[in-house]
Amino acid sequence: MPDLDDRDALSTFRRDLATWFRQHRRDLSWRRVRDPYAILVSEILLQQTRVEQAQGYYARFMAAFPDLATLARASEEDVLKVWAGAGYYRRARNLHQLARAVAETGLPTTAAELEDLPGIGPYTAAAVASIAFGEPVAAVDGNVRRVLARLFAVEAPNARWLRETAERFLDRADPGAWNQAVMELGSLVCTPKNPTCAACPAARFCRGKGDPERYPVRRVRRQMVVSACALVLKGGGGYVLERRDGRALGGLWGFPLEEGPSALEVLLSRYRLASARPLGTVEHAFTHKKLTIEVYAASWPGPVDDPGSRPLSVLDRKILALASVSPVP
């Protein structure tokens, strides 16, 4: 097997992967443009959204905010409304702040400068700098981590090894295409489960192909299970909605909601209600916790909001859907 520590083997590997990428790359909207802002928006979306879903959100976002200046002028609520459904709303808030910070000057062109902006970590900075500006810097995401770990049969690659190996592999003649090629290989061929080694352009260099799923060892994520209650208070023309705080959903609006064993009592007391009628159960998973939400409903004589006019999270859309099919007293 050719050894990727050997210079000639590495050149052959680069050439093979570049050829494969030209033939197999997916035709994605953000790959058809050279606009750094559009590339940035796509990378922010792809941080936590799958490519297939990201395409729709990308189109909607770019239609509403086609450039940095338009995004900078928008209100946070309008930005969140357009982002609604994509989840991880901190990304949208950071992107909005970023636009306000650089609307006058334009995006910086190096990974080091990009990393100083809100919501931009080392991966996103390297991806944008290499794809939009051609800076020779390696982008290391989960796909790259998996591909490199398997190529060298490393069970627990540490950050330093990954960084050094990715930099050594980088094709400095076309760093943007190279970074995308390695990531595309991880997305389409060297997948977490059932990688298709038989169709892989890197197979003849790969030390891990005999037992690929052994590399890298998977991190086990524990997810807390939390019970909660939500209150659907219906009045003429809408529902009572509260503006949410916190990292996950801050800036969005939603139904009054509390976690914990006394959640219903807390909600009833907040709205000075004696009781509410059970409507059903909604489940929603965040990265770190899974919420099981008992939804209660009551009629409300006071002011209400039209949910169509507020940015709602997916969680609140689920509650709204339940309220829409169940008669609220």
Give dist(CA 177, CA 23) in Å, integer: 13
Residues of this chain, 102-161, that bind ligand SF4 according to CB under 6 A = 147, 150-151
206 binds ligand SF4 (CB under 6 A): yes
Judged by beta carbon, residue 69 or residue 156, the one nearer ligand SF4 is 156
197 binds ligand SF4 (CB under 6 A): yes
Give dist(CA 196, CA 210) in Å, integer: 12
Give dist(CA 9, CA 205) in Å, integer: 8
The type of residue at 317 is R
Q: What angle (nearest 5°) sits at the alpha carbon of residue 248, between those of residues 54 and 230?
A: 110
User: How many CB atoms neighbour CB 56 within 10 A?
Assistant: 14
What's the closest the beta carbon of residue 168 comes to ligand SF4, in angstroms? 16
Query: Which residue carries 């946070």 as its tokens?
Result: 76
In the 8-state DSSP scheme, what is residue 116?
Answer: T
Give dist(CA 53, CA 85) in Å, integer: 10
Judged by beta carbon, residue 162 or residue 232, the one nearer ligand SF4 is 162
- Judged by CB under 6 A, the residue of 195, 216, 251, 307 near ligand SF4 is 195
What's the closest the beta carbon of residue 55 comes to ligand SF4, in angstroms? 24
- Judged by CB under 6 A, the residue of 114, 137, 200, 241 near ligand SF4 is 200
**Size of interface with ligand SF4, in residues (CB under 6 A):** 14
Judged by beta carbon, residue 132 or residue 202, the one nearer ligand SF4 is 202
Stretch that binds ligand SF4, among 76-84, 102-110, 193-201, 239-247 (CB under 6 A): 193-201
- Judged by CB under 6 A, the residue of 212, 216, 251, 307 near ligand SF4 is 212
208 binds ligand SF4 (CB under 6 A): yes
Give dist(CA 100, CA 218) in Å, integer: 39
Q: In Å, how far are 36, 146, 209, 299 from 327, measured between CA atoms?
A: 49, 49, 57, 11
Tokens of 83: 């982002």
188 binds ligand SF4 (CB under 6 A): no
244 binds ligand SF4 (CB under 6 A): no
- Judged by CB under 6 A, the residue of 202, 232, 295, 320 near ligand SF4 is 202
Stretch that binds ligand SF4, among 111-119, 205-213, 296-304, 307-315 (CB under 6 A): 205-213
125: Cβ contacts below 8 Å, ≥ 6 apart: 111, 112, 114, 115
The interaxial angle of helices 90-102 and 76-83, nearest 10 deg, is 130
Q: Where in the sequence numbering do the catalytic residues fall?
A: 43
* Interacting residue ranges for ligand SF4, rule: CB under 6 A: 147, 150-151, 189-190, 195, 197, 200, 202-203, 206, 208-209, 212
